[in-house]
Amino acid sequence: MTATLNSSVPQVRPAQVRSVSDLIAPLEALAAKSPSVVASHELRFDRNGETYTLPRYIFLGPQGGDAPIRIGIFAGIHGDEPEGSRAAVLLLKLLDVMPELAKGYSITVYPVCNPTGFEANTRHSSSGKDLNREFWKNSSEAEVQLLEAELVSRSFDGIISLHTDDTSEGFYGYARGATLTKHLIEPALATAAKLLPRDSRATIDGFRARNGIIFDCYEGILSAPPKVRPRPFEIILETPKAPPTYVKDAALVSALQAILIEYRALLAYAPNL
């Protein structure tokens, strides 16, 4: 298996910083033995004579009584932010050991949304584009088109994106979409704060913030289709770059767990309102 999961004729490549195949190797092994994890590599695109894949893994939690809650987790849209990709892998490994955390959920994980940028350790893809400014703009970028199709067809109830900010010294997040999003991001940040400080600045990433939460955002980011109703919850989690790797990974995974637990609780409580 090549570094980009393509099985075509081997080609000479320049030296690479990271390998997608190395990152997802534990998930491939997990999918081979776990009845709860389904691996799929059908999201493919060609560029410069090579075929690349956006790996996708679906974790089916224990039945919760109703239709599964559909959550999409997206990482690595910026290739120089491997923290989210590692956290996505760690989350799936954790869920396999503790499936009750995902009771009632169908969780679709995209650990590397920008494989060419990931392997080259660059924010942009090999086409030179910041993919996280291209969504819902009739983009010609193959990665964006594939992900938009997934966002349309899978009708997620919640969308979580994982990022890293090298200008911040604390953990923070964006809250968008459904009204209840604000009730999910606060527990996530509070849980992460046990490992990393929360970014308390009044302005973060150029936007007004309150206690580490931002409600505005850039245009063109990975998000639900503009016209979809009802809106899913949409959360972007941002870890600082500087802390040790194991701390950043743990903070992101802890925040993800908090969102899963809190959302299930909110849905259980809603009929009593």
> How far, in Å, are 7, 37, 48, 134 from residue 10 at the CA level?
8, 29, 14, 31
Please report the pLDDT score of residue 1 as a whole number.
31
- 20-272 is classed in which CATH architecture? 3-Layer(aba) Sandwich (3.40)
Q: Give 74-118 pLDDT, tens digit per residue.
A: 999 999 999 999 999 999 999 999 999 999 999 999 999 999 999
Please report the pLDDT score of residue 57 as a whole number.
98
pLDDT at residue 9 is higher than 50: no
pLDDT at residue 5 is higher than 70: no
- For residue 65, what pLDDT band results from cuts at 50, 70 and 90? confident
Q: Give 112-140 pLDDT, tens digit per residue.
A: 999 999 999 999 999 999 999 999 999 99
Q: Give 163-211 pLDDT, tens digit per residue.
A: 999 999 999 999 999 989 999 999 999 999 999 999 999 999 999 999 9
Mean pLDDT of 239-267: 97
In 10 A of CB 17, how many CB atoms? 12
- For residue 271, what pLDDT band results from cuts at 50, 70 and 90? low
Mean pLDDT of 152-157: 98
- Selection from 163, 135, 162, 164 nearest residue 150 by Cα: 135
Distance in Å from the first CA to the final CA of the chain = 52
Helix axes 82-97, 20-33, angle to 10 degrees: 10
Please report the pLDDT score of residue 14 as a whole number.
44
Entry pTM: 0.93
- For residue 147, what pLDDT band results from cuts at 50, 70 and 90? very high
Q: Where do we find the tokens 């990433």?
A: 205
In degrees and rounded to multiples of 5, residue 159 shows phi and psi of: -125, 125
pLDDT at residue 272 is higher than 80: no
Structure tokens at 272: 């009593």
Please report the pLDDT score of residue 16 as a whole number.
52
Q: Give 19-61 pLDDT, tens digit per residue.
A: 999 999 999 999 999 999 999 999 999 999 999 999 999 999 9
- For residue 273, what pLDDT band results from cuts at 50, 70 and 90? very low
- Selection from 63, 65, 75 nearest residue 20 by Cα: 75
